[in-house]
Structure 1
């Protein structure tokens, strides 16, 4: 089973040991996990050390190492240089793809995100129709910024009338930061594994953002984090504690409807990235985007 490894206790040492990621405190082994199951390693703690052999093994498996700041937002991500076996050709196709394909891809991503937001609102007992109807207005490249219109309706109803999304703030925002860090790490892994370059985004294009494409492709999955954070906050308060981290890390194993079956989030991200890479190569857009899970599943996240 795919897993996110979170290091939040100071002074831990991470190393490779016969196919396992081993966590130690001094000479004492704290735990180990098969390297083949590691999707990403997220480090919050001070004084964490690791072996070079572990980092190269993680790179070989496409698993990023994410270093976080005090607000639980990522500050640095270590990713492998090589990804897909046809990386060179796919990178050229990505770089040479025409603007209309990028714009149509972003349109589909926004429509998928809004559908997930509408499902999330319905699951928590809020009116979803005003958001769902916005999907009809999404243009190529979302030129009229319908995504922002949906967000203005969505956030007060999902997190409360006083809530404002602020990456630098504490409480709910800090828990959201952690959940999005988990999702961003899993998405970055999928992007690299598909032979795509994470810097070349569909929509996000800030010159300082080395993971623009990951930020684009994770958008439809964000409401899953939101539902989970809401559930955690209602039960235990808005704290980035061990339980919250464990619960949010498990989101990558949540099954989503995709292609007539159910697919874990981590696999769905991989399918989406691969479908985008194939679209770049063929010049014909055919994205593999998930549908929202049922209301009962969404309402139960974090509870």
Structure 2
């Protein structure tokens, strides 16, 4: 099973040892994890050091190393240079993709996100109808910005009427930052593994954002983080502690409806990125997007 390795204690040293990531403190080993099970390494702590051989082994497996600021938002991501065996051709197809295909892809992403938001609200007893009504108004490229309208309806009902989403905020905002960092790392891994250029987004296009495509593709998965954070903050408090991090890291392993079956979140991201790459090459859109899980699954997020 894919695991997120979180380094939050100062002075840790990370190294490779016989197929394992080894964590040491003051020269003594304190833990190890098989390299083949690592989806990403997230580092918050000061004074963390690592060996070059470890970074190369992680790159071989496509596992990103994410360096975070004090607010748990990512500041740097180390990714491999090589990804899919057909990476060159797929990136060219991505670069030359026609605008209508890109806009239709973003429309489908927004539809999937709003559907997930509606299901998340329904699971906590809030009426999903207003969001479901918005679905029919989503146009190619979401030119009328239904995504933002849905967010204005969604946030006060999901997190409370006084809540304001602020990446520099504390408490629930910091928990959201961490959860989104987990999801973004898993998405970036999927994008590179699919042979796509993470800088070339469908909608996000800030020239300083090296992972615009990852930010696009993770959008339908964000309500999973939101639901987990709501549960964690209500049941255990808003501190970004080890228990909260573990709960949020487990989100990439939850089973999501996809096609005729169920697929773990990290695999669903892989299938979505791969389907987008295939769509670029074929010139015809066929995205593998998950549908919302049942209310019981939503209720268990963050437990």
TM-score bucket (shorter structure): over 0.9
SS at match of 1:256: strand
CA distance in 2, matches of 1:243, 1:202: 35
Cα deviation code 1:57-110 (max 9, x no counterpart): 000100000000000000000000010000000000000101110000000000
SS at match of 2:32: strand
Mean Cα deviation higher: 139-148 or 126-135: 126-135
SS at match of 1:29: strand
Corresponding residue number in structure 2 for 1:245: 245
Corresponding residue number in structure 2 for 1:78: 78
SS at match of 2:21: strand
CA distance in 2, matches of 1:75, 1:148: 25
Corresponding residue number in structure 2 for 1:191: 191
Cα deviation code 1:253-273 (max 9, x no counterpart): 000000111100000000000
C-alpha deviation, 1:28, in angstroms: 1.0
Find runs of 4+ consecutive structure 1 residues off by over 2 angstroms.
none
CA distance in 2, matches of 1:18, 1:132: 51
CA distance in 1, matches of 2:256, 2:51: 36
CA distance in 2, matches of 1:52, 1:141: 42
CA distance in 2, matches of 1:121, 1:172: 17
CA distance in 2, matches of 1:118, 1:47: 42
C-alpha deviation, 1:118, in angstroms: 0.2
Corresponding residue number in structure 2 for 1:293: 293
Q: Over aligned residue pairs, what C-alpha RMSD do you find?
A: 0.5
C-alpha deviation, 1:300, in angstroms: 1.7
Q: Please say if 1:264 is aligned against 2:259.
A: no
Aligned length: 303
Cα deviation code 1:11-44 (max 9, x no counterpart): 0000000110000112211111110000000000
Corresponding residue number in structure 2 for 1:225: 225
Corresponding residue number in structure 2 for 1:143: 143
CA distance in 2, matches of 1:186, 1:145: 26
CA distance in 2, matches of 1:289, 1:157: 25
CA distance in 2, matches of 1:239, 1:127: 29
CA distance in 1, matches of 2:220, 2:112: 5
CA distance in 1, matches of 2:26, 2:16: 15
Gaps of 5+ in 2: none
CA distance in 1, matches of 2:196, 2:268: 16
Corresponding residue number in structure 2 for 1:174: 174
Q: Please say if 1:108 is aligned against 2:124.
A: no
CA distance in 2, matches of 1:138, 1:239: 36
SS at match of 1:92: helix
CA distance in 2, matches of 1:8, 1:124: 32
CA distance in 2, matches of 1:33, 1:195: 27
Cα deviation code 1:161-207 (max 9, x no counterpart): 00000100111100000000000000000000000000000000001
Gaps of 5+ in 1: none
CA distance in 2, matches of 1:135, 1:299: 24
CA distance in 1, matches of 2:162, 2:68: 27
CA distance in 1, matches of 2:209, 2:81: 17
CA distance in 2, matches of 1:30, 1:186: 25
CA distance in 2, matches of 1:131, 1:45: 40
Corresponding residue number in structure 2 for 1:34: 34
